[in-house]
């Protein structure tokens, strides 16, 4: 082979090699472009994710900082308000009233009552018939306004019998400072009830109970021995206690009332009027302890050696009138009886609009008749 043929063969081989290299380069570039097309969405998605993540981190940091600042502001404002409120409380808090130890739970709210104890009978209804109310004495007073709604001999002098014990309880409640203070019933107390043929709660001579049990005993079963025991506990003697009762009547401005005993025994100088006894009931309702005692239907006294299970005390009037009258609830009551003044009762109720009514009757021919007369007056006049 000559030189020219050798050179031609070498050139052709180089040309073929270059062509193969060019083809290989094109295939590589094509593969690279294909790979780039596949990776580009992933790269873009990754960049977006990184941006979102950075944004979330920045937002979270800012949110934490903002919440911290808001919490600091709220705490600062709350502290300022608390300081202001404490300052206001200090400015308006009244002087505390004398503490009564072992106060009875207040289950009966004090109603709104008119100021003072002088009633207005100028427009009272006097036409109530004996068919409606048979008691010789009767009155119904709007104790929210002080106006007498209906009256029959409401301002006439009468013997209050055991309605007297409303004043007895009121005076005692105003001077008792520890309701759980123990006190011993004596033979003098039980003899007082026996000699005068009085109702009894059932305490025995030598029995020691909290004074609150004696207070309940004076009102609920109208215990004569309890009245005498309260005289000794509060004032030291019967005479001193009776003086306190009359002083209280004078303080209330009740010129038609005078007491000679705490149990309601008959006597020419022991008298009141229905208007006055109604105002004594009003004063009793204004006293938290007395209001609770007058409202109680059933009370069991503290167990003692003489009565291991206690005495069960019951308010006869309160337990029976609720079966005969349902328009409103009778909130408190006290009955009474002596031959000279027949069956008596004083009670109060509160209308649906909050108006307070005090009813008092005297000289009914039976205990049930006294209840029926209260029901009749409430049914006709209570709104």
- pLDDT digits 0-9 by tens, 348-360: 999 999 999 999 9
Whether residue 300 sits in one domain with residue 210: yes
In the chain, the percentage of residues whose pLDDT exceeds 70 is 79
Whether residue 230 sits in one domain with residue 81: no
Indicate the range of 105-119, 177-191, 216-230, 288-302 predicted with least confidence: 105-119
List the structure tokens of 171.
């005076």
Whether residue 196 sits in one domain with residue 66: no
**Comparing 73 with 155, which gets the higher pLDDT?**
155
Whether residue 55 sits in one domain with residue 143: no
pLDDT tens profile 245-269: 999 999 999 999 999 999 999 999 9
**Comparing 160 with 93, which gets the higher pLDDT?**
160
pLDDT of residue 31: 67
For residue 98, tell me if it sits in a domain. Answer: no
* Domain C-terminal end among 62, 93, 124: 93
Indicate the range of 23-32, 65-74, 139-148, 313-322 predicted with least confidence: 65-74
Strand partners, 3: none
* Domain C-terminal end among 58, 93, 128: 93
CA 295, distance to chain mean position in Å, is 14
CA 307, distance to chain mean position in Å, is 32
For residue 126, tell me if it sits in a domain. Answer: no
3-class state of residue 382 by DSSP: coil
Whether residue 170 sits in one domain with residue 85: no
For residue 218, tell me if it sits in a domain. Answer: yes
Full-model pTM: 0.74
pLDDT tens profile 20-38: 777 776 677 666 666 767 7
For residue 375, tell me if it sits in a domain. Answer: yes
**Comparing 293 with 64, which gets the higher pLDDT?**
293
pLDDT of residue 339: 94
For the segment 178-204, the average pLDDT, to the nearest whole number, is 96
Whether residue 231 sits in one domain with residue 355: yes
**Contact (Cβ atoms closer than 8 angstroms) between residue 334 and residue 343:** no
pLDDT of residue 27: 72
pLDDT of residue 90: 43
pLDDT confidence bin for 47, thresholds 50/70/90: confident
For residue 109, tell me if it sits in a domain. Answer: no
pLDDT tens profile 57-98: 766 666 665 565 646 555 555 555 554 455 444 444 555 555
**Contact (Cβ atoms closer than 8 angstroms) between residue 369 and residue 363:** no
pLDDT of residue 42: 72
Whether residue 340 sits in one domain with residue 231: yes
Range of the structural domain that residue 261 is part of? 137-381
For residue 107, tell me if it sits in a domain. Answer: no
For residue 128, tell me if it sits in a domain. Answer: no
User: What whole-number distance in Å separates Cα of residue 149 and Cα of residue 327?
Assistant: 18
User: Could you give the number of structural domains in the chain?
Assistant: 2
Closest CA to 293 of 315, 261, 264: 315
Inform me whether the pLDDT recorded for 197 exceeds 90: yes
Strand partners, 333: 347
* DSSP β-ladder status, 208-210 and 182-184: antiparallel
In the chain, the percentage of residues whose pLDDT exceeds 90 is 70
For residue 305, tell me if it sits in a domain. Answer: yes
Whether residue 57 sits in one domain with residue 145: no
Average pLDDT over the chain, rounded to an integer: 87
Whether residue 376 sits in one domain with residue 267: yes
């Amino acid at each position: 082979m000559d030189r020219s043929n050798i050179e031609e063969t070498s050139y052709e081989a180089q040309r073929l090699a270059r062509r193969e290299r060019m083809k290989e380069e094109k295939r590589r570039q094509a593969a690279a472009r294909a790979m780039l097309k596949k990776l580009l969405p992933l790269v873009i998605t990754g960049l977006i994710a990184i941006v979102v993540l950075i944004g979330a981190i920045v937002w979270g940091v800012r949110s934490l900082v903002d919440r911290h600042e808001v919490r600091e502001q709220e705490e600062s404002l709350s502290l300022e308000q608390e300081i202001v409120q404490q300052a206001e409380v200090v400015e308006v808090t009244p002087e505390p009233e004398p503490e009564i130890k072992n106060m009875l739970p207040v289950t009966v709210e004090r109603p709104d009552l008119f100021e003072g104890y002088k009633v207005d009978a100028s427009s009272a209804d006097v036409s109530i018939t004996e068919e409606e109310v048979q008691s010789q004495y009767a009155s119904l007073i709007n104790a929210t306004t002080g106006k007498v709604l209906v009256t029959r001999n409401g301002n006439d002098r009468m013997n209050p019998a055991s309605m007297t014990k409303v004043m007895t309880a009121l005076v005692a409640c105003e001077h008792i400072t520890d309701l759980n203070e123990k006190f011993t019933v004596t033979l003098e107390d039980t003899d007082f009830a026996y000699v005068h043929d009085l109702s009894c709660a059932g305490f025995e001579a030598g029995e020691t109970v909290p004074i609150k049990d004696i207070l309940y005993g004076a009102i609920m079963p109208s215990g004569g021995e309890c009245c005498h025991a309260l005289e000794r506990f509060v004032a030291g003697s019967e005479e001193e206690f009776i003086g306190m009762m009359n002083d209280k009547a004078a303080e209330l401005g009740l010129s038609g009332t005078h007491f000679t005993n705490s149990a309601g025994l008959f006597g020419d100088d022991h008298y009141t009027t229905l208007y006055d006894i109604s105002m004594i009931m009003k004063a009793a309702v204004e006293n938290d302890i007395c209001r609770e005692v007058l409202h109680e239907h059933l009370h069991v006294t503290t167990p003692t050696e003489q009565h291991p299970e206690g005495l069960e005390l019951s308010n006869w009037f309160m337990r029976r009138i609720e079966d005969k009258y349902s328009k409103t609830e009778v909130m408190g009551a006290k009955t009474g009886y002596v031959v000279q003044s027949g069956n008596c009762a004083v009670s109060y109720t509160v209308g649906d609009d909050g108006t307070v009514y005090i009813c008092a009757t005297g000289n009914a021919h039976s205990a049930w008749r006294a209840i029926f007369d209260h029901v009749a007056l409430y049914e006709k006049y209570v709104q």
